[in-house]
Structure formats: structure tokens, C-alpha cells
Amino acid sequence: MMKIVAFAASPRIGGNSETLLDETIRGLKESGADVRKIRTHAQDFIPCISCGKCDTLGRCVIDDSFQEMFDLLVECDGMVFSSPLYFMNVPGRGKALIDRCQAFWAAKFSLNLDLFSGRKRLGLLVACSGKKYGVGKTPIFRGIEDTMNILYIALGMEPMKSLLVPEVDLKGDINKFPQELEKAYEAGKNMVEFLHQNGVE
């Protein structure tokens, strides 16, 4: 069965990005995917300590809850990463998770390992922000998209078109945009369909 890991990277339970994520999960499940949802703030893991061990092992040696997330990220066919924008990027715990994925980068580029056996995998970013622009007219989601695009490379994932919703700030603001919730749901369905088309059962 197709396996998808869905991260909720906001500390605000039931906030805007998690509401979007839940719609994506609904689309994924209705299309038959097995979804494992992980709230990063409910996890117990530390940031990368740059010990360099992954450069020779292709795996992180820190014994905490990242180990399970590492295994899920190896096994999965796709990942949905939902996040609020914090200072133009993901919140600290989400960034700590991403930084721990250096182990995937090391496996691929230092050790030439293919942890995913050449399987077609997809990544999807679902994000929201309070504002429309950063400083001046800086595109508001540029930082978070750059970060995710590098993560997809490390994880051997093809990026889907991100679902990015600006100008939602207060908890519940996202409900003023039912068309974005619909897009989130459709993105879940599309992820399954694309993977099916590429031979993932």
C-alpha cells in the first residue's frame, strides 16, 4: 500500500497549516493511501550536532525520535510537509528535522547510496503566512521553497507544485479560503494519482 508521511510543523494545533494538511490527508486517504501524520512539536529529538558520523554511516547516530522519522522517510512513497512561515522559513523544530536529514544528503552524495531503490517519490509543501511579502517585495515563500527544494533532493523526491497561502494569520483564518482547502484536498488526490501512474501500488 502506498505510504505517505505527513508532517505538521506548526506548534499551533489545529492552526492554519494543519487545517490545510488535514484536507490533503483527507484527499490522500480517500484515494487509498496509508498516511502517517507526525506533529513535529510532539516529537522528542534534538537538532543536528554536526558530528559528521553520517558522512561515513549514511545514517544519523543520535538516538532519539528522529530515528523513527528517518525510517518512515526511507520507506514512504511521498511526503507532505505543512508549515507556517516563521521569519521567512519553517519553525525551529521543523528546521531541526530538516537539518537531521543531512544523513540522507550524506548517504546520497558522500556515499553514493540509493536508500530508495530508485523508486519514484513525491514531496509536497503546504504553507501559509501572515503577510503577502517579506522585506520590500521579497516573495514571501521564497525561503521556505528553497529549503524544501534542497530537502527533496536529499530525499530523492520530485517536488509537486507547492500549496502556498499568504495573508492568513489568526487561527482559523484559513477557513475564509475554502478554495485553498479544496486545493489542498485535490493535492492529496493528485499525489496518489501521480504515484499510481508511476507504478506505485
Ligand X SMILES: Cc1cc2nc3c(=O)[nH]c(=O)nc-3n(C[C@H](O)[C@H](O)[C@H](O)COP(=O)(O)O)c2cc1C
Which chain residues interact with ligand X by CB under 6 A? 10, 12, 15-18, 84-88, 128-131, 140, 168-169, 171
By beta carbon distance, the residue nearest ligand X is 15
Cβ at position 139, least distance to ligand X in Å? 11
CA 103 – CA 55 distance, rounded (Å): 7
Nearer to ligand X, 75 or 131 (CB): 131
Cβ at position 177, least distance to ligand X in Å? 11
Nearer to ligand X, 27 or 91 (CB): 91
Cβ at position 69, least distance to ligand X in Å? 20
Cβ at position 163, least distance to ligand X in Å? 13
CA 154 – CA 22 distance, rounded (Å): 25
Long-range contacts of 175-183 (CB under 8 A, 24+ apart): 175/19, 180/20, 181/19, 181/20, 181/23, 182/23
CA 82 – CA 84 distance, rounded (Å): 7
Cβ at position 176, least distance to ligand X in Å? 12
Going by C-alpha positions, the residue among 96, 99, 150 that lies closest to residue 123 is 150
Asked whether the beta carbons of 140 and 91 are under 8 A apart, the reply is no
Nearer to ligand X, 24 or 129 (CB): 129
CA 53 – CA 56 distance, rounded (Å): 6
Nearer to ligand X, 8 or 154 (CB): 8
1 by Cβ neighbours in 10 Å (0-12 / 13-18 / 19+) ranks as exposed
CA 168 – CA 158 distance, rounded (Å): 27
Nearer to ligand X, 129 or 190 (CB): 129
Cβ at position 36, least distance to ligand X in Å? 19
Nearer to ligand X, 175 or 198 (CB): 175
